[in-house]
Amino acid sequence: MNISPFTVVKYLQATFKMMLGKQSPEASFDISENGLWQAIFVSWIISGLVSIIPMQTIGWNFFPLFLSTALVSLLLFVILVYYFLLRISKSNLYLKFMVPYLWLSTMQMIFFAVITLFSVVTGVSAFSIFSIPALIWVLYWLIRIARQQLNVSRLVAFGFLAGKFLIETILGITAGISFSIG
């Protein structure tokens, strides 16, 4: 598994090209078990990096719990999607879907981190308005990749988004409560 900074930049550029419609998902990523683990690892690392800004407010003693919660929620989502696809007889398309989906999710984190960082550095919170078009663009692609790679309805594609959101929310709230109690 090659997770060098060069590889990460290469796949982020490929994700951006895919989002511009200039490259297909199959031509953009390593659609294999190694490619899946790369996407999982990079998504987790980027999640940790972009959480640095809020950690300064929340407190650094929450950071290890955040990292472990982020990893568990990511792995749980990946596993649940596999079993869902197994149930609907589309497990053969799992890697073809999951690898681009995770890279798109990573790109979403980077977009929001850049917008947030720009707002914080400049002191102009109005720059946060740029997160709305970025959100719409990324959500469009997350739904599109599910429809395109799995040939499922918009409702099912939206279900993947909702499922990931629910997993992260439930685990995040549970971790936050346990942290505040302990």
Tens digit of each residue's pLDDT (9 = 90 or more) over 57-80: 777 777 888 888 899 999 999 999
Low-confidence stretches of the chain (pLDDT < 70) are 1-2, 182
Structure tokens at 163: 């499922």
pLDDT of residue 141: 92
pLDDT of residue 115: 85
Tell me the residue ranges of DSSP E strands in the chain.
Answer: none
**Host domain of residue 42:** 5-181
Round to whole Å and give the CA distance between 126 and 136.
18
For the entire predicted model, the pTM comes to 0.90
* Closest alpha carbon to 99 in 110, 107, 89: 107
pLDDT of residue 133: 87
pLDDT of residue 80: 96
pLDDT of residue 1: 64
Q: Cα separations (Å) of 10 from 103, 169, 171?
A: 11, 30, 31
How many domains are there within the chain? Answer: 1
